[in-house]
Amino acid sequence: MPSTVAICQFRPTASRADNRARIAELTSDAAARGARLVVFPEYSSFFVDPMDATLAENSETLEGDFVQGLRRTASAHDVTIIAGLVESAGERVRNTLVAVDGTGLRAVYRKQHLYDAFGQTESDWIEAGALDEPQTFDIDGLRVAMMTCYDLRFPEVARTLVDAGADVIVVPAEWVRGALKEHHWTTLLAARAIENTVYVVAADHPTPIGVGHSQIIDPQGVVIAGVGTEEGIAVAEISADAVARVREVNPVLRLRRYRVIPR
């Protein structure tokens, strides 16, 4: 059966309470438009630019206010929410994605490739996630998996998720603006969809810090819904049947000769 997914491009701040309230508001709007899965950006729980010690001061556990607020919001609207959490990890923090429905956590992903590039050093504040087996969950016959922002530049991350059965790869991000960065973002999103014959559902921060251009991309690399550079919501229908049809005519996963070797 088809399902409806929404991407919510919004601007997280240094107020955790304001972020939770904004997520609840946007989720209500997305659910009213039929969304069953609602996706928010990286660092949705708390964000400062430049990063500093307040990240650790405002980090939370998986049992904290942010996840509990997502659970209540998801329950109120009968949806699953994916959003970025600054997770407690001692002196540093983890850049974590959580998938939450009315019953609680459905999946967790911790960013594996930290953004130590283009003059940034995310590793000064963030602890990289372990290379664990992917956590996935099902919604309306589609298997969903997650990765974060800079992970998009590493094709093996997406391929590992597809090897775990993913039909949909969700990519919350804070894709920092810079020379050609919009081009890199949109090109890599389409590439991950095409080479893996999956939907890619990506939610970014709006300008001026992020590039915006949150997108929902089908298994042939076609953008079927998107947002520009400001805050906004985009909604699209996705289906397991569409994934199956593309894989029937373009069986790249079956025909490939290389395999990801677990470390």
Hey, which residues are catalytic here?
A: 42, 111, 149
Tokens for 60, please give them: 């939370």
CA–CA gap between residue 7 and residue 217 (Å, rounded): 11
* 8-state DSSP, 203: E
**What's the start-to-end Cα distance of the chain, in Å?**
36
Q: List b or e across 205-220, with b for residues whose CB sees 16 or more CB atoms inside 10 angstroms.
A: bbbeebbbbbbbbbbe
- 3-state SS string for 142-186: EEEEECCHHHHHCHHHHHHHHHCCCCEEEEECCCECCCCHHHHHH
**Residues making up the chain, counted from first to last:** 263
Supply the DSSP string of 117-131, one letter for each residue.
Answer: -TT--GGGTEEPPP-
Measure the CA–CA gap between 171 and 71, rounded to whole angstroms. 20
Phi-psi region of 229 (alpha: psi -120 to 50; beta: other; left: phi over 0): alpha
Q: Using the 8-state DSSP alphabet, how is residue 92 labeled?
A: E
